[in-house]
């Protein structure tokens, strides 16, 4: 047996990817699984973006590019931040990476020393605490349950900050809850942050365009916060481009340069063809983004209505992203005669094996009383999945 590092030994595998893999394996065995586990748009990447990628190959854009991305893409992202978010960034402040996942991880690696604390509101995206651990930092979890709309309060933030706090990770719209912070709520958090200069915010805005409440609010737009905030975003969700692996940060120049140095030593530039595809996404017609948003909004209404019909579930209406995160703890202790449901992961496994619906237990999101369903799938799949889930829940006693 190889000696494995303590860093990798401590790490948990990604629960979202594990559940998606498991559901793909069962599907390959011919079992009719409905996959509500992974958070990935079911749409194809829009045609004009795919054509731009083909053109990039034909034009010979197949070599190394500058580590932080081709100049045209960094410029297009800076223009997007100006036009859509009202924020002024120079292209040098934009670093393009292999997906927003790498962008978050790069930033944590650039900012944290051993013993530093990273504040992570729960429910959280599964990878945040693991990335903080990879950086040698200590995750500090602040709990925001369904009763507070899954959003932390300024008082909770104030209580969690210590002299060792280096980073707050704030994800809005949120994976896994769909909660969206309003501009006023962000202002109130900024009031706290302005009193604690040692804290930098990683603002994960990957679901910016999947918002059902109107305009996206960015923490970087709050007074005094742009100098302290690293915006993370990318093309995966807004343009249905998960496989292309393009994300970015927009950050104060010193942080941008630090992540560029890191990236230059371990992954270099993100794929050249993908960068040209992302350029077409940002420069092209934005109608496709709105069409997908409208489809997600319709599906959200459908899944929320059907989920509310399941006895024992409590549902908070999501304002963004494409997840619903019902509380299912009223079912804990119940049995179908074969097994007892003790945790949300037990419940997700029960749904997978008995209802053939893949979801993800809330344990991995720091919220053991809930479970996550992604509604980035067809209306028919949503209807059939919830019919099966309701029947499976009704068999529990
Ligand atoms: N942040 C959040 C909150 C996400 O849900 C995801 C989806 N995997 C990412 C970042 C990473 O996205 P990407 O596909 O760009 O790496
Ligand atoms: N963000 C998606 C999810 O939460 C993709 C999988 C992942 O990278 O975790 O399901």
Q: Whose CA is nearest to atom 2 of ligand 2?
A: 39
* Residue 19, pLDDT score: 87
The CA 297 to ligand 2 mean position distance, Å, reads 20
Residue 135 has pLDDT above 90, yes or no: yes
Q: How far is residue 173's CA from residue 163's CA, in Å, rounded to a whole number?
A: 28
Helix (H) or strand (E) holding 250: strand 247-250
Once rounded to an integer, what is the mean pLDDT over residues 383-394? 98
* Residue 221, pLDDT score: 97
Which protein residues touch ligand 2 with a CB less than 6 Å away? 14, 16-17, 38-40, 101, 125-127, 175
The CA 16 to ligand 1 mean position distance, Å, reads 11
- pLDDT tier at 217, thresholds 50, 70, 90: very high
pLDDT 10s digits, 21-57: 888 899 899 999 999 998 999 999 999 999 999 999 9
Ligand 2 pocket test, pick from 14, 21, 38, 205 with the greatest ligand atom count within 8 Å of Cβ, gives 38
**pLDDT cut 90: percent of the chain above it:** 94
Residue 294 has pLDDT above 90, yes or no: yes
CA dihedral 203, 205, 206, 207 (to 10 degrees): 140
**Average predicted confidence (pLDDT) for the chain:** 97
Residue 384 has pLDDT above 90, yes or no: yes
The CA 16 to ligand 2 mean position distance, Å, reads 6
Q: Whose CA is nearest to atom 9 of ligand 2?
A: 16
Once rounded to an integer, what is the mean pLDDT over residues 202-229? 96
* Residue 13, pLDDT score: 86
Once rounded to an integer, what is the mean pLDDT over residues 147-172? 98
What the chain holds in terms of domains, given with CATH numbers, is 6-44+288-394 (3.90.1150.10), 63-283 (3.40.640.10)
Q: What is the DSSP string of 150-192?
A: T---HHHHHHH--TTEEEEEEESSPTTT-----HHHHHHHHHH
- pLDDT tier at 303, thresholds 50, 70, 90: very high
* Residue 255, pLDDT score: 98
* Residue 288, pLDDT score: 98
pLDDT 10s digits, 339-362: 999 999 999 999 999 999 999 999
Ligand 1 pocket test, pick from 16, 150, 205, 206 with the greatest ligand atom count within 8 Å of Cβ, gives 206
Q: How far is residue 147's CA from residue 133's CA, in Å, rounded to a whole number?
A: 29
Assign 325 to helix, strand or coil: coil
The CA 39 to ligand 2 mean position distance, Å, reads 5
Atom of ligand 2 nearest to the CA of 175: 4
Which ranges in the chain belong to alpha helices (H)? 6-10, 15-28, 47-58, 71-85, 100-111, 127-134, 154-160, 183-193, 253-266, 272-283, 287-308, 344-350, 379-394
Secondary structure letter of residue 194 according to DSSP: T
- pLDDT tier at 215, thresholds 50, 70, 90: confident
Ligand 1 pocket test, pick from 236, 242, 249 with the greatest ligand atom count within 8 Å of Cβ, gives 236
- pLDDT tier at 214, thresholds 50, 70, 90: confident
* Residue 59, pLDDT score: 98
Looking at all shown ligands, the one closest to residue 20's CA atom is: 2
Q: What is the DSSP string of 75-125?
A: HHHHHHHHHHH-----GGGEEEESSHHHHHHHHHHHH--TT-EEEEEES--
Ligand 1 lined by 178 (C-beta under 6 Å)? no
Atom of ligand 2 nearest to the CA of 374: 10
* Residue 292, pLDDT score: 98
Residue 16 has pLDDT above 90, yes or no: no
* Residue 188, pLDDT score: 98
pLDDT 10s digits, 260-279: 999 999 999 999 999 999 99
The CA 392 to ligand 1 mean position distance, Å, reads 31
Looking at all shown ligands, the one closest to residue 100's CA atom is: 1
The bridge status of strand 117-122 relative to strand 34-35 is unpaired
């Amino acid at each position: 047996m190889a000696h494995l590092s303590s860093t990798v030994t401590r790490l948990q595998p990604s629960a979202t990817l594990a559940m998606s893999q498991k559901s793909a394996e069962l599907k390959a065995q011919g079992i009719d699984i409905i996959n509500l586990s992974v958070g990935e748009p079911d749409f194809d990447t829009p045609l004009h973006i795919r054509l731009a990628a083909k053109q990039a190959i034909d034009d010979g854009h197949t070599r190394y590019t500058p580590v932080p991305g081709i100049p045209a893409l960094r410029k297009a992202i800076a223009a997007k931040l100006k036009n859509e978010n009202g924020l002024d960034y120079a292209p040098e402040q934009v670093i393009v990476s292999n997906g927003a996942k790498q962008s978050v991880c790069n930033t944590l690696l650039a900012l944290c020393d051993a013993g530093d604390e990273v504040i992570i509101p729960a429910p959280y995206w599964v990878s945040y605490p693991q990335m903080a651990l990879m950086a040698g930092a200590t995750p500090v979890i602040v709990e925001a349950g369904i009763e507070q709309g899954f959003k932390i309060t300024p008082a909770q933030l104030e209580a969690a900050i210590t002299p060792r706090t280096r980073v707050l990770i704030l994800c809005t719209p949120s994976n896994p809850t769909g909660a969206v912070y309003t501009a006023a709520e962000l202002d109130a958090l900024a009031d706290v942050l302005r009193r604690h200069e040692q804290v930098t915010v990683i603002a994960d805005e990957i679901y910016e365009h999947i918002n059902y409440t109107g305009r996206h609010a960015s923490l970087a737009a709050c007074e005094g916060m742009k100098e302290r905030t690293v915006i993370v975003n990318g093309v995966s969700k807004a343009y249905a481009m998960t496989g292309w692996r393009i994300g970015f940060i927009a950050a104060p120049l010193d942080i941008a340069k630090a992540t560029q140095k890191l990236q230059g030593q371990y992954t270099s530039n993100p794929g050249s063809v993908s960068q040209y595809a992302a350029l077409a996404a940002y420069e092209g017609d934005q109608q496709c983004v709105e069409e997908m948003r409208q489809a997600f909004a319709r599906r959200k209404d459908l899944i929320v209505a059907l989920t509310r019909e399941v006895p024992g579930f409590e549902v908070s209406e999501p304002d963004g992203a494409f997840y619903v995160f019902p509380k299912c703890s009223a079912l804990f202790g119940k049995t179908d005669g074969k097994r007892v449901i003790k945790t949300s992961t037990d419940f997700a496994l029960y749904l997978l094996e008995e209802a053939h619906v893949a979801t993800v237990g809330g344990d991995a999101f720091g919220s053991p009383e809930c479970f996550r369903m992604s509604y980035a799938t067809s209306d028919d799949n949503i209807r059939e999945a919830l019919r099966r889930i309701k029947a499976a829940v009704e068999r529990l006693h």
